[in-house]
Structure 1
Amino acid sequence: MRGEVRLNKRMADLGLCSRREADEWIARGWVLVNGEPAVMGMPVAPGAKVEVLPQARHQQAGQVTILLHKPMGYVSGQPEDGHEAAATLIGAPSQWRGDARHPADGRRFAPEHTRGLAPCGRLDIDSVGLLVLTQDGRIARQLIGENSGIEKEYLVRVQYAPNGPHGAGVVTQDVQAVFPADKLALLRHGLSLDDQPLKPAQVDWMNPEQLRFILKEGKKRQIRRMCEQVGLHVVGLKRIRIGNVVLGNLPVGQWRYLGAGEGF
């Protein structure tokens, strides 16, 4: 029938859950379509009534989202090249309880909170700052889904290296004074990566050696590669905000739960 899509995609599009969660719920008999138990992989028409049973809602309510201040030397996802995954830092000893503004910080760590915990977006091995890991497919889709437009803010310490980082004439201090205005404009809009034009970005000087980037996309090593194209060499990169959630005073290597009243 025209307009039909697979049930798991429809559920994800409706914001009910991720496709993976949808398949799990369907397999457990927790999903009804037009009042009848759903079948894995079934197509549904645009007007079909999709219902989720309370068991699924209960399971979803127990899922956690964790905010980690990732140190340098850890990878965001699976371990690689001898470097540990950032998720290995999640445990009772490293839970931060220093921010009383967020009620979820009173939640006690439980080992099941690390099961199925997935990073929402990249943060390079040599970058630090806010990393979101979640068990909730709705949050993952919100942050890294193909239509996600959530802002991500970074502080980026740079040197001006028009001849390459190891060439002659590298400027390490008061970079702002010598960096051409037309190249700053290019960082804001006009560059491409992987043969794809980048979305407009907010890029401004915070001090003479540090830029602030606000992006609405997240290509691999995007900021470093953008800077390379205009003769800048990144010597430090820190993510300080994702949407409405800020890194704040969360110490390096520590983590906290996303608060009950927080959202991206």
Structure 2
Amino acid sequence: MKLVKHIANLGYGSRKQVQGMFREGRITDAEGEVLYADDKVEHAVIRIDGEPLDPPPGLTLMLHKPAGYTCSTKDIGRLIYDLLPDRFRDRDPVLSSVGRLDRDTSGLLLMTDDGQLLHRIVSPRSKLDKVYEAHLAEDLRGDEAARFASGELLLESDDKPLLPAELEVLGPRHARLTLHEGRYHQVRRMFAAVGNHVQTLHRCKVGGLELGDLGEGRWRQLDAGDLATLFGETD
């Protein structure tokens, strides 16, 4: 791929704008030598204004999504892309969230521009559990764990019972819930079905990958080791 197209696809500007960067001498190699549009060099050595290029296509990252942000590129209000470098929303292929966390839910959100990887993560065949912590409006009654584990709980407007899910009580109004499927607003609807209301909801784990100490609103790129951990492929 030509350098102009490659750099434009990373969101640095239109092809015309990137051509202008070449003319202005803003695009160099790691030693500061000016590059030209027809040069053939590796991604890793290219610099724009002295800074390395953003990660190449195949980017996968984890984001600690705060509550109040929407998983969208176009909705009104605060968007997850506001937490990333501005260029990331203009990348081609597009950088998409892997599934969604609703606006009021915080925690671990995966994003990738790799379509095959995205489909693998969301596929039920990958069997990637999702772990949430919920703070509730009312005290737990004591029968919730059995009902969630029964495989018989039917949510309003659904025609198929939920798969069994595991509930761990962390406090009178605090619980950890492990899901083996992903339905619309599933955790909130599950607690509503047993007469409670979720006040705050936080996703702390997907598959084998945990949010860890990644600060709220922060992100980091995932490497092959992280993806192996996600899919449980580590020794």
User: If the length of structure 1 is used for normalisation, what is the TM-score?
Assistant: 0.59
Per chain length, whose mean CA-contact separation is higher, i.e. which structure has more relative contact order (CA < 8 Å, sep 6+)?
1
User: What residue number does 1:132 align with?
Assistant: 110
Q: Offset of 1:114 from its aligned partner?
A: 7.4
Task: Find the residue that maps to 1:220 and give its secondary structure.
Answer: coil
User: What residue number does 2:123 align with?
Assistant: 145
Query: Which amino acid in structure 2 is aligned with residue 192 of structure 1?
Result: L
User: What residue number does 1:240 align with?
Assistant: 204
2:80 maps to which of 86, 111, 136:
86
User: What residue number does 1:184 align with?
Assistant: 145
* Residues 155-166 of structure 1: pairs in structure 2 closer than 5 A: 155-160=133-138
User: What residue number does 2:58 align with?
Assistant: 63
User: What residue number does 2:51 align with?
Assistant: none
Runs ≥4 in structure 1, deviation > 4 angstroms?
109-115
Q: Structure 1, residues 75-121: CA drift from partner, whole Å, max 9, x if none?
A: 123433x23331232118xxxxxxxxxxxxxxxx9787675111111
User: What residue number does 1:164 align with?
Assistant: none
Contact 1:122 1:218 in 2 (8 A): no
Query: Which amino acid in structure 1 is aligned with residue 149 of structure 2?
Result: R
* Residues 1-264 of structure 1: pairs in structure 2 closer than 5 A: 62-80=57-75, 82-91=76-85, 115-160=93-138, 175-176=139-140, 179-181=141-143, 183-189=144-150, 190-193=152-155, 194-263=158-227, 264=230
Identical aligned pairs, as a percentage?
Answer: 34
Task: Find the residue that maps to 2:147 and give its secondary structure.
Answer: helix
Task: Find the residue that maps to 1:157 and give its secondary structure.
Answer: strand
Q: Structure 1, residues 14-41: CA drift from partner, whole Å, max 9, x if none?
A: xxxxxxxxxxxxxxxxxxxxxxxxxxxx
| Separation of aligned partners in 2, 1:88 and 1:74 | 9
Q: Structure 1, residues 131-159: CA drift from partner, whole Å, max 9, x if none?
A: 00101123211221253420111111112
Contact 1:90 1:114 in 2 (8 A): no
Q: Offset of 1:221 from its aligned partner?
A: 0.5
| Separation of aligned partners in 1, 2:111 and 2:193 | 31
Q: Structure 1, residues 47-74: CA drift from partner, whole Å, max 9, x if none?
A: xxxxxxxxxxxxxx84110100111111
Contact 1:187 1:227 in 2 (8 A): no
| Separation of aligned partners in 2, 1:110 and 1:221 | 27
Structure 2 unaligned residues grouped into runs of 5+: 1-55, 231-235
| Separation of aligned partners in 1, 2:104 and 2:111 | 18
| Separation of aligned partners in 2, 1:213 and 1:251 | 22
Contact 2:133 2:175 in 1 (8 A): yes
- Across the aligned residues of Structure 1 and Structure 2, the Cα RMSD in angstroms comes to 2.2
User: If the length of structure 2 is used for normalisation, what is the TM-score?
Assistant: 0.66
Structure 1's 141 and 197: CA in aligned 2 closer, same or farther, altered over 3 A?
Answer: same
Structure 1's 110 and 87: CA in aligned 2 closer, same or farther, altered over 3 A?
Answer: closer
Q: Offset of 1:253 from its aligned partner?
A: 0.8
